[in-house]
Amino acid sequence: MKLKLNKRGLLPSLVAVFRVDAGPGIGMGHFMRCRTIALEMIKRGWFVYFVGWGLPEELMSYSSVNSPISWIEFKPSHETNEDMKRFLEILRTRFSFNVNFVIFDSYRFKRDDYAFLQLFGQRIPVAIIDDMAQQDTPAQVVINPNPLFSPEPYQRQKIPRILCGEQYTLIRPEVVALRDRAYDSAGPVLITLGGGDVVEPLMKVLDAMPEHLGRKIVVSVSQNCPMNEIQNWISNDPENRYVNTDSEKFPELLASASVAITGGGGTLWEVYCLGIPGLSIVWVDNQKHTSTIIKDQATSFLVDLISHINIEMQSEMLETGLQKIVETLGPPGSTRIVHEKGFRTSDVISREKTSLVVDNVEAIDKKFIRKAISRLTSDFGFPQGMMRKQRQLIDGMGAQRVVTALEEQKWEQVPLFGADYRRNYEDW
């Protein structure tokens, strides 16, 4: 293990090991929020290792930290118990169990897998990044970065440290660094609905954009998104429309935008951190899984089709479009508790009145979008309250709070059942 000098002499640095995968079929959501925590750790002198598959090496560093994240390539096994055994062997052979924290961000692992690590992991504290609280996660720390998510499901599991809600929302440092930039009401309109193949809902939005908007329109998609239809749309007005596929350029594009049209995943919380008025298209496509970022944030489980926020905005110019959606989908019902049937981005929006929201791809109404964008781009006074509430909800300090909590947390025994791990680890 590497050593460094501090004021009290020669002491080993803190070491964190993240278990996270990325790439096609998984997306970048898990990796990006792990990276956000990791970069804050490195700023504080930790040594950080990512153990996983398909991770983008170009994003393993950041200009404000003095060393990159180290990557131990690890192809997942078909069975999670084999995966966890191999991971434990890495902790033994590569680190001699001299690790201060292990952090998991994956939906693959089950209670048996985490129980196995608790029993045989040489008292290494474990943190789990979670979205939905739909399964038991025996660990010392659970991190749920979704705004307004209640800690109650984790409290029932007797997890010693629960980091839950908007105080722990993870915003990448490239975005936080731009938080103090002055809002430009004449900036471009940025449209992004997540990673992967998002062509169907994206084209519905692009076709609804007002003509002669008077500002540029930037469409940001991942490199593996099919481009033919998008490029055809761009070619109709190449001077005012362009597409971005470079993830490193995205924070700058977002910070310079006057209006943002996004999905319901992590990018939405980045919009809130910066304070940019916009429209959230929270859509569902469980068959194709076309937006991994939205899936990572659990918005695939949205069930509300329209919520009170659209009625309560009380905009005369939007009234016709909003009423049409309500008439098509039924009257707006009272918003349920955020956790009743899984986390829903629209519930956060509804409770905080921070955005306009359309919750289903079939509900994307061209007239409604045109009226919304026209209002947001023509009346600066209209979105000011929206922007203020966004920034109040997400302050960009989530990663700092998470790392401070991890530095304070020691290994504690968590409740395990007699049958834990034994069914899948009988040969251990």
pTM: 0.82
Whether 118 and 414 have beta carbons less than 8 Å apart is answered as yes
Q: Among 121-125, 252-256, 368-372, whose mean pLDDT is lowest?
A: 368-372
- Residue 100 vs residues 48, 84, 140: alpha-carbon distances, Å: 10, 18, 12
**Average pLDDT of the segment spanning 412-416:** 89
**What helix, strand, coil percent values describe the chain, rounded to 5?**
35, 15, 50
**Average pLDDT of the segment spanning 231-246:** 94
Model pLDDT for residues 378-404, shown as the tens digit of each residue: 776 767 877 888 899 999 999 999 999
SS3 at position 8: coil
Does the domain made of 3-171+398-408 have the CATH classification 3.40.50.11190? Answer: yes
Tokens of 110: 């089950």
Rounded to the nearest 10 degrees, how much is the dihedral formed by the CA atoms of 251, 253, 254, 260? -150
Whether 27 and 195 have beta carbons less than 8 Å apart is answered as yes
In this structure, which amino acid lies at residue 270?
E
Residue tagged 């834990």 (tokens): 420
Higher pLDDT, 279 or 238: 238
Angle at 194 between CA 190 and CA 200, to 5 degrees: 90
Model pLDDT for residues 208-228, shown as the tens digit of each residue: 888 888 899 999 988 778 899
Q: Among 202-216, 309-323, 398-412, whose mean pLDDT is lowest?
A: 309-323
Residue 424 has what pLDDT? 65
For residue 41, what are the β-bridge partners? Answer: none
**Average pLDDT of the segment spanning 32-55:** 96
The whole-chain average pLDDT of the chain stands at 80
β-strands 141-144, 161-164 pairing: parallel
Residue 117, H or E segment: helix 111-120
Q: How many residues does the chain have?
A: 428
Model pLDDT for residues 126-169, shown as the tens digit of each residue: 999 998 788 888 999 999 998 888 899 999 888 999 999 999 99
pLDDT band at 422 (very low <50, low <70, confident <90, very high): low
Whether 343 and 183 have beta carbons less than 8 Å apart is answered as no
Q: Is the pLDDT of residue 294 over 90?
A: no
Which of 178-192, 256-270, 306-320 tops mean pLDDT? 178-192
* Residues 6+ positions from 249 with CB-CB distance below 8 Å: none
Higher pLDDT, 56 or 379: 56
List the domain boundaries for the chain: 3-171+398-408, 173-393
SS3 at position 196: coil
Does the domain made of 173-393 have the CATH classification 3.40.50.300? Answer: no
SS3 at position 404: helix
| 3-171+398-408 matches 173-393 in fold | yes
**Average pLDDT of the segment spanning 229-242:** 94
